[in-house]
Amino acid sequence: MIIIKTSEEIKILREGGKRLATVLYKVKDMVKPGVSTKDLDIYAEDLIRNMGDEPAFLNYRPEGAEYPFPASLCVSVNDEVVHGIPNKKRILKEGDIVSLDLGVKHKGLFTDMAITIPVGAVSSINQKLMDTTEQALKAGVDAARSGGTVGDIGFAVESFIRSKDKKNNMQYGIVEVLSGHGVGRAIHEDPYIPNFGKKGKGAKLIPGMVIAIEPMINLGAKNVTLETDGYTFRTADRKNSAHFENTILITDGEPEILTKI
Ligand code: MG
């Protein structure tokens, strides 16, 4: 069921999204060679709790999971696509790219955001992958208009990536088995927001809907595998992947990004 948020809920989500973006950018500033992925998680959790909020992913148990997610921050390095579990032995090194995915529960309501960033200097192929994925998110957000559909968003992301294939002389993989989603009263709500699709297909976009759009783009093929930890998705061909996500509000006009400072 798609939930339309009340104006009171939207106010809370706007504040929560701002807090989430503030935390995520602080964690971003901590990313450098020599830092462990667990260091980033501890810092993120501290920042969230110091604001009086709660991390949304800690102890979250998706359907079918054998155990709840054991951290506040998902940290996915290089060929890890999403849901990487922080580990004190996993040390970031120069040239890595790292995806940070974070959810915050503020006054009972959830927002969700992700960025992928370089660790020190990275190759131009990796930089282009991150830039392209971030721009694909922008294209998806821009297509999220009242009167349109979920398919318009997927179509916009997919068309943008296919246009970049030519420009960058690449054949980027768009992950299909994972998608964006409604968000707000729960961390995952209806509808699914795939990063591919056809214009005019799928659920209608209505003012008051709050959704997370999150393209996951691979340097190689679209296929992913699940690690034995039950959470970490990696690219099947072990080529790098990038992930950007914003929580947005569907309005009568321009979509409003809630996860921003
Ligand atoms: Mg999400």
Sequential pLDDT tens for the chain (261 residues): 999 999 999 999 999 999 999 999 999 999 999 999 999 999 999 999 999 999 999 999 998 999 999 999 999 999 999 999 999 999 999 999 999 999 999 999 999 999 999 999 999 999 999 999 999 999 999 999 999 999 999 999 999 999 999 999 999 999 999 999 999 999 999 999 999 999 999 999 999 999 999 999 999 999 999 999 999 999 999 999 999 999 999 999 999 999 999
Q: How far is the CA of 212 from the centre of ligand 1 (A)?
A: 6
CA of 33 to the centre of ligand 1 (A): 26
* 121 C-alpha to ligand 1 centroid (Å): 27
Total residue length of the chain: 261
Alpha-carbon distance values, 28 to 18, 41, 68, 106, 118 (Å): 15, 11, 25, 21, 10
Angstrom CA distances, 165 to 20, 159, 162, 194, stand at 32, 10, 5, 19
Q: For residue 179, report the distance from its CA to the centre of ligand 1, in Å.
A: 8
pLDDT recorded at residue 242: 99
Buried b / exposed e along 127-141 (16+ C-beta atoms within 10 A): ebbbebbbbbbbbbb
Residue 185: the pLDDT is 98
pLDDT at 35: 98
| Domain ranges, ordered by start, for the chain | 7-257
Q: Which CATH superfamily is domain 7-257 in?
A: Creatinase/methionine aminopeptidase superfamily (3.90.230.10)
Q: What is the pLDDT of residue 182?
A: 98
Instruction: Compute the distance from residue 111 Cα to the ligand 1 centre, in Å.
Output: 9
Question: In 3-state terms, what secondary structure has residue 99?
Answer: strand
Cα 244 to averaged position of ligand 1 atoms, centre (Å) = 9
CA of 188 to the centre of ligand 1 (A): 7
∠71-184-59 over CA atoms, to 5°?
Answer: 20
Q: What is the predicted pLDDT for the residue at 226? A: 98
Binding site feature residues for a divalent metal cation: 101, 112, 181, 214, 245
CB-CB contact of 69 with 231 (8 Å)? yes
Q: How far is the CA of 110 from the centre of ligand 1 (A)?
A: 10
Residues within the annotated binding site for substrate?
Answer: 83, 188
State the binding site: 83, 101, 112, 181, 188, 214, 245
User: How many Å lie between the centroid of ligand 1 and the Cα of residue 83?
Assistant: 10
Contact 220, 237 (CB under 8 A): yes
